[in-house]
Amino acid sequence: MTLDFRSDTVTRPTSAMRSAMARAELGDDVFGDDPTVNRLQDHAAALFGMQAGLYFPTGTQSNLCALMSHCQRGEEVIVGQQAHTYKYEGGGGAVLGSIQPQPLNNRPDGTLDLAEVEGAIKPDDSHFAITRLIALENTIGGKVIARAYLADAVALARRRGLSIHLDGARIFNAAVKLGTPVKDLCAGFDTVSVCLSKGLGAPAGTVLVGKADVIDRARRVRKMVGGAMRQAGVVAAAGLHALEHHVERLAEDHANARRLAKGLEALGVACEPVQTNMVFAAFPKEVCKPLQEHLRSKDILCFIDPRTRLVTHLDLDAAGIDAFVAAVGAFLSQNARTASRAAVSGE
């Protein structure tokens, strides 16, 4: 069986998830008639203590519609340089929403300096775009942002009359790691975008939860960008199943990530401290390509870089982690033997 460490998006639906999909009651969701989509949206909203939820095909579209619901043309979002909404979504907010991003550097822990955020809020002056929104992300690069920081960010937004959006693609990884319900962790945010297709293991789908008026606007934008689906309940059933059955088990992914880092470190491969389901490991530049090919020959998929990201998920168990570590170990010792033979023979 292939072991895939490239992302937590690669999971296949479990058989229980597939039977939930097969059983799903369906309707036309553009008319608001799909009972499964409605149940998913209501369930997600309740989990987050929010007024409403809205189902999207992807997280990129959910973030885009959230941004476009908060900001009008010529308005501005303050966002991290490393944020998915800024860096990895094709500039959609700017291209399609005419929303100006004001990027700020993320600190090593993933947060933005809130004094810098406040300093970036534009005065009411015709030279400037109108600052409207702060967008944060949790987890970011596998790192958990603590509740106290989030509460301070929310307080800042309120004090300065801004809206605040959370890209919570992996918010359940943060919640499980902290042992804090998402309702408490995300309290005060106007909108939260939650991917069902990452660690939660659904084949597709994201739900945006938030205040009813913002979600109503997001529904209009979703239609405009082509994201309103018809009998979407067949996929939404997988998302609902994921929310009901795959949240607590994220702790296993976190434990497997720690096991992976420990195994690599025992081989002399330096790893950054693990917080959730991502391991960042350092490999010398010259071994990256041959190591990736060696692993490919063992049916292991990953992107090996000087700063390699390895992601654990539902379809990787402890035995899979051990197989990965063993394959890296075999490669490194083979490499060391080749290098020492080359040194002896003076090549």
Ligand X SMILES: *Cc1c(COP(=O)(O)O)cnc(C)c1O
Q: From the list 154, 195, 209, 243, which residue makes contact with ligand X (rule: CB under 6 A)?
A: 195
- Total residues binding ligand X (CB under 6 A): 12
| 312: contact with ligand X by CB under 6 A | no
| 59: contact with ligand X by CB under 6 A | yes
Considering the complex, state which of residue 63 and residue 111 has its C-beta at the smaller distance from ligand X: 63
CB of 167 to ligand X, least distance (A): 5
| 60: contact with ligand X by CB under 6 A | yes
Sign of CA pseudo-dihedral 139, 140, 146, 147: negative
Using the contact rule CB under 6 A, the part of the chain among 192-200, 259-267, 277-285, 303-311 near ligand X is: 192-200
Using the contact rule CB under 6 A, the part of the chain among 36-44, 56-64, 98-106, 223-231 near ligand X is: 56-64
Write the CB contacts of 165 (distance below 8 Å, at least 6 apart in sequence): 63, 66, 67, 70, 77, 85, 133, 134, 135, 136, 189, 190, 191, 192, 193
Using the contact rule CB under 6 A, the part of the chain among 41-49, 58-66, 92-100, 331-339 near ligand X is: 58-66
Q: From the list 41, 106, 206, 277, which residue makes contact with ligand X (rule: CB under 6 A)?
A: 206
Neighbours of 127 (CB within 10 A): 6
CB of 234 to ligand X, least distance (A): 18
Using the contact rule CB under 6 A, the part of the chain among 52-60, 118-126, 228-236, 268-276 near ligand X is: 52-60
CB of 314 to ligand X, least distance (A): 15
CB of 196 to ligand X, least distance (A): 9
| 143: contact with ligand X by CB under 6 A | no
Q: From the list 169, 182, 235, 269, which residue makes contact with ligand X (rule: CB under 6 A)?
A: 169
List Cβ<8 Å contacts ≥24 apart for 58-61.
58/197, 58/204, 58/205, 58/206, 58/227, 59/84, 59/167, 59/169, 59/193, 59/195, 59/197, 59/206, 60/89, 60/90, 60/92, 61/206, 61/222, 61/225, 61/227
For residue 10 the two structure tokens come to 């690669």
| 137: contact with ligand X by CB under 6 A | yes
**Side-chain-side CA neighbours of residue 120 (13 Å):** 24
The string of DSSP letters for 49-77 reads T-SEEEEES-HHHHHHHHHHHH--TTEEE
- Dist. CA 142–CA 276, nearest whole Å: 6
Considering the complex, state which of residue 134 and residue 195 has its C-beta at the smaller distance from ligand X: 195
Q: Is 149 helix (H, G, I), strand (E, B) or coil?
A: helix
Using the contact rule CB under 6 A, the part of the chain among 104-112, 194-202, 232-240, 261-269 near ligand X is: 194-202
Cβ contact 206:193 at 8 Å: yes
Name which of residues 67 to 96 contact ligand X (CB under 6 A). 84
- Dist. CA 172–CA 186, nearest whole Å: 11
Report which residue's Cβ sits closest to ligand X. Answer: 59
Strand partners, 79: 103, 135
CB of 92 to ligand X, least distance (A): 10
List of residues contacting ligand X (CB under 6 A) = 58-60, 63, 84, 137, 167, 169, 195, 197-198, 206
